[in-house]
Amino acid sequence: MAIRQRQQVLQLWLAEGALDTKVVAWAFYDGCGGDGPELPREKPPYSTGVDALLDGWCLLQAPQPPPHLRPGMEHETGGLQHQYVFERRIEQDV
Amino acid sequence: MPAADHRLTTLEVARFVAEGYLRFDALVPREVNEGVIDELKRLTKVKFSQAVLVPPKVEIEGQPASGTPLSRCYPAPSVLGEVLRLPEVLGIIASLVGEDPLFDHDFVHVVPRRGGGLQHLHVDALVDTSAPAFDIQLFYFPVDVPENGGGTRFVPGSHLKRVRAEHVAAYEHIVGEQYFSGPAGTVMVFHQGLWHAGQPNGSDRERWMYKIRLNPRASQVRLWNTDDLADVQNDSSDHCFATMRFDSVAQVLRQMQPWQNGHEARADLVQRVRLWRYLSGDDRFDADYYLTRLEQRAALLDGEG
């Protein structure tokens, strides 16, 4: 029996630019096609980004600091600012 | 809506500015809701054909073109026109985009029982500018929508963030998002920028929703019932880190959603203040002093201080 690896990806948007701040939005993509460990869908899977680390998720990407603010644009707001991307590798029997 | 002409109050409009929507349960009478479905079925055929660029096989008499004044849309005996000309509905519309705004477009969203797909979050414009003038969209639900019945998902407070329509699809869930459920005849009015998405229907009841977008054609300043405006319009010193009122417009605008936290929420508050300045015609209005202190410093540099 062979073993294969599949990736699960978790995107967390945090309240501020620190990993221990509150989760305000999330998205989960499952490369296991539902055969791997699941996450709750209707409530935040973790309270903070650090809680995801404690549960075994590995940080892939942290947000970049915003560019210098242009005059007149100091208060403009857009999408959620603090996106952290995590992964975990799941081993499956083939 | 205590006014005789059903216009909104100042604090209702302030809540619209803060949350990007207002909800009016069972506003449309039952007999009208029951009568409108056949008309919506015909309109659905037209809209779905046009959406795939195919000439429709059905014609709707009086179907409005973009830019038509609302008063000329769906003339009698149209039941849909009756909905749009209910005094309660006209009062909401007039309070936000003025009397007789322009028809932009409309659509009928039907989700079959035990069917329908999960739509990503989106906004209905490609991208909006930072100008404060806005369109509204009415969401009219002519039949009961139970929980898990395909009610529209939306994110209160998201309307003033400038995003491209497809950008917000990344957010699978946001803390504080809502899923509409409610009685037949409910009307929701959305600011054009509110993030929303269609949902699958897990119920045994077909889900119907009629959506219409309306453009103002005049200034949107103080269109609502302003009888209470002088009482609740605070001055620029209303500041939660100094002295504050708890009955003012500023206090309504300060109410943030569960996903609006920390320092980012302060930028969201500034956006609300800017919109309230436009709507109230008061360019000195402020909440928590964010704009006032900047303007005072700018005046010093300009030699006005």
The predicted-structure confidence for B113-146, as pLDDT tens digits, reads as follows 999 888 999 998 766 777 899 999 999 999 999 9
Q: Do B268 and A77 touch (CB under 8 A)?
A: yes
Query: Rounded to whole angstroms, how far apart are CA atoms B265 and B253?
Result: 11
Selecting from A22, A44, A75 the residue whose C-beta is nearest the C-beta of B271 gives A75
Residue given tokens 């699809």 in the structure block:
B169
Nearest C-alpha neighbor of B134 from the set B16, B3, B8, B15: B16
Q: Do B264 and A15 touch (CB under 8 A)?
A: yes
- Interface contacts (A, B; CB < 8 Å): 68
Q: What is the ipTM of this complex?
A: 0.93
**In chain B, beta strands by DSSP E:** 21-24, 102-111, 136-141, 153-154, 173-174, 178-179, 186-191, 196-197, 207-215
Predicted TM-score of the model (pTM): 0.94
Output phi, psi for B81, to 5 deg.
-60, -35
- Please report, rounded to a whole number, the percentage of residues in chain A having pLDDT higher than 90: 64
The pLDDT, as a whole number, for residue B164 is 83
> Per-residue confidence at B305, pLDDT binned at 50, 70, 90?
low
Q: Label residue B180 exposed, middle or buried (CB < 10 Å: 0-12, 13-18, 19+).
A: buried
Q: Do A25 and B264 touch (CB under 8 A)?
A: no
> Per-residue confidence at B220, pLDDT binned at 50, 70, 90?
very high
Mean pLDDT across B156-164: 92
The pLDDT, as a whole number, for residue B81 is 96
CB–CB of B209/B129 below 8 Å?
A: no
Tokens standing for B176? 């504080």
Query: Rounded to whole angstroms, how far apart are CA atoms B151 and B245?
Result: 37
Q: Do B162 and A13 touch (CB under 8 A)?
A: no
